[in-house]
C-alpha cells in the first residue's frame, strides 16, 4: 500500500549509511521487489578518512559477478528486482567526502550493480546484466549530489562507475517539489539519472519519465576530471549502444549547467526526448537525434 496515511508517521524515515559506516551498505533484492515507504529516505556515502568502498546503495550490489556477501553468481548474473520508493517528504542521496586515495567508491545510488571496485580488471569482467523498474514518488524534493571523494558519484539507475554490462529499465519520478542532480568536486564524482555511468561499458537502454511540479536542475561539478551531470543513458567512456525515451514534464524551470572541471558537462542525452517546461502546453520540444542533446553546457563531452 502507498497511502500516505499508512507510512511516514511520526517522522519515520529510512537511512542507508550515515557517513560513519566502515564498509559499504547496500539494501536490495536481486530478483524480488525492494519497497521503501517513509517520511524521508536518505543515502550517505562515507565521510572523512577511512577505508575504500563505504558506499550507500538502495539496490542489489554486485562486482565482477560477486555479491556483497561474497557469493559467486556466475560470469554474467541477471539482476532484475524492481525498486519502489515513496516518501511524504524528501529523497536525498549524497556521495562521500574522503579524497585521500584514488577511487574510494564512497558513492550513493538508488539502483542495481554499483561501482566496480576491482580497478585491476575494471574494463575486463562484467559485473552483471541489470534491468529494473524504479518508481520514485516524493511529496517534496529529490536531490542527488556527488561528493568530494574520488568516485563519490550519485546515481538513480542501473550501473555505476566502471560497471560493465548491459543495463536497462524504466525509471519514473513523480515529485511535488524540485529535482536536483549536481556533480561534486571529486574525480569522477558525477551525478546521473539513467542507466550507465562513468566508464560503464555496455549497452544501456531505458525509459525515463519525470513529472515534476517544481524546478529541474542538472549541474556539473568542480572536479579535476569527469564530474558531469546527465539525464539519460550512457556517460563518459561508456562505450556501447545507448537508446531509449526520456520524457520530462516540469511545472517550473529546467536548467542544465556545465561545471568548472574538465569534462564537467551537463547533458540531456536523448535518443527520443520530449521536454515540456512551465505550463504544460507552453513548450514542447522533441528530438529524434541519435547524438546527445546538450543544454547550457560549458564543457564538451
Nearest-angstrom CA–CA distance, 232 and 120? 28
Does residue 275 lie within any of the structural domains?
yes
CB of 31 closer than 8 Å to CB of 60:
no
pTM above 0.85, yes or no: yes
pLDDT greater than 90 at residue 9:
no
Work out how many domains the chain is built from and give that number.
1
Does residue 181 lie within any of the structural domains?
yes
Does residue 175 lie within any of the structural domains?
yes
Least confidently predicted of 21-30, 185-194, 262-271, 292-301? 292-301
Mean pLDDT along residues 40-55: 89
When pLDDT is cut at 50, 70 and 90, the band that residue 281 belongs to is: very low
Range of the domain at 210: 9-294
Strand, coil or helix: 119: helix
The pLDDT, as a whole number, for residue 152 is 93
When pLDDT is cut at 50, 70 and 90, the band that residue 295 belongs to is: very low
CB atoms < 10 A from the CB of 157, how many?
29
When pLDDT is cut at 50, 70 and 90, the band that residue 10 belongs to is: confident
Nearest-angstrom CA–CA distance, 239 and 201? 5
The pLDDT, as a whole number, for residue 76 is 92
The pLDDT, as a whole number, for residue 301 is 31
Does residue 301 lie within any of the structural domains?
no
Does residue 78 lie within any of the structural domains?
yes
Q: Helix and strand tally (H, E) in the chain?
A: 0, 26
Nearest-angstrom CA–CA distance, 154 and 42? 12
The pLDDT, as a whole number, for residue 3 is 67
Question: Could you tell me the sign of the dihedral formed by the alpha carbons of 16, 169, 3, 216, in that order?
Answer: positive
Alpha helices in the chain (DSSP H): none
Nearest-angstrom CA–CA distance, 145 and 188? 12
Residue 127 φ/ψ region, left for φ over 0, alpha for ψ in the -120 to 50 degree band, beta for the rest: alpha
Please give the grid coordinates belonging to residue 241. 549502444
Q: Could you report the per-residue pLDDT of 199-236, keeping only the tens digit for each?
A: 999 999 999 999 999 999 999 998 768 999 999 999 98
Does residue 300 lie within any of the structural domains?
no
Mean pLDDT along residues 148-177: 95
Does residue 2 lie within any of the structural domains?
no
Mean pLDDT along residues 125-146: 95
When comparing pLDDT for 242 and 135, which is higher?
Answer: 135
pLDDT greater than 70 at residue 290:
no
Strand, coil or helix: 66: strand
Nearest-angstrom CA–CA distance, 96 and 19? 7
Does residue 36 lie within any of the structural domains?
yes
Q: What are phi and psi of 123, to 5 degrees?
A: -115, 25
DSSP 194-225: SSB-TT--S-EEEEEEEEESS-EEEE----SB
Strands 56-58 and 108-110, bridge-based pairing: parallel
pLDDT greater than 90 at residue 1:
no
pLDDT greater than 70 at residue 272:
no
Q: Could you report the per-residue pLDDT of 86-127, keeping only the tens digit for each?
A: 999 999 999 998 756 555 789 999 999 999 977 665 556 899
The pLDDT, as a whole number, for residue 30 is 97
pLDDT greater than 50 at residue 84:
yes
CB of 129 closer than 8 Å to CB of 142:
no
The pLDDT, as a whole number, for residue 100 is 62
Mean pLDDT along residues 139-164: 95
The pLDDT, as a whole number, for residue 123 is 55
Q: Which residue, among 184, 170, 85, 71, has the nearest Cα to 128 in the 3D structure?
A: 71
Amino acid at each position: 500500500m502507498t497511502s500516505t496515511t499508512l507510512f511516514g508517521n511520526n517522522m519515520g524515515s529510512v537511512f542507508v549509511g550515515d557517513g560513519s559506516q566502515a564498509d559499504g551498505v547496500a539494501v536490495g533484492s536481486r530478483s524480488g521487489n525492494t519497497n521503501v515507504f517513509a517520511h524521508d529516505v536518505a543515502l550517505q556515502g562515507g565521510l572523512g578518512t577511512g577505508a575504500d568502498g563505504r558506499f550507500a546503495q538502495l539496490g542489489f550490489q554486485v562486482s565482477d559477478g560477486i555479491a556483497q556477501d561474497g557469493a559467486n553468481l556466475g560470469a554474467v548474473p541477471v539482476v532484475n528486482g524492481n525498486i519502489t520508493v515513496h516518501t511524504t517528504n524528501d529523497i536525498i542521496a549524497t556521495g562521500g567526502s574522503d579524497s585521500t586515495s584514488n577511487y574510494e567508491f564512497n558513492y550513493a545510488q538508488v539502483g542495481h550493480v554499483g561501482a566496480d571496485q576491482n580497478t585491476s580488471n575494471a574494463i575486463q569482467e562484467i559485473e552483471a546484466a541489470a534491468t529494473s523498474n524504479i518508481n520514485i514518488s516524493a511529496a517534496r524534493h529529490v536531490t542527488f549530489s556527488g561528493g568530494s571523494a574520488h568516485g563519490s558519484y550519485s546515481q538513480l539507475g542501473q550501473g555505476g562507475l566502471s560497471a560493465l554490462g548491459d543495463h536497462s529499465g524504466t525509471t519514473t519520478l513523480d515529485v511535488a517539489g524540485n529535482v536536483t542532480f549536481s556533480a561534486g568536486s571529486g574525480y569522477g564524482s558525477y551525478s546521473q539519472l539513467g542507466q550507465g555511468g562513468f566508464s560503464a561499458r555496455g549497452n544501456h537502454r531505458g525509459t525515463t519519465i519525470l513529472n515534476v511540479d517544481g524546478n529541474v536542475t542538472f549541474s556539473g561539478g568542480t572536479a579535476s576530471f569527469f564530474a558531469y551531470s546527465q539525464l539519460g543513458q550512457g556517460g563518459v567512456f561508456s562505450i556501447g549502444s545507448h537508446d531509449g525515451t526520456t520524457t520530462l514534464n516540469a511545472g517550473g524551470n529546467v536548467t542544465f549547467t556545465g561545471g568548472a572541471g574538465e569534462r564537467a558537462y551537463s547533458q540531456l542525452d536523448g535518443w527520443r526526448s520530449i521536454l515540456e517546461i512551465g505550463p504544460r502546453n507552453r513548450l514542447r520540444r522533441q528530438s529524434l537525434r541519435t547524438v546527445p542533446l546538450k543544454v547550457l553546457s560549458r564543457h564538451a563531452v
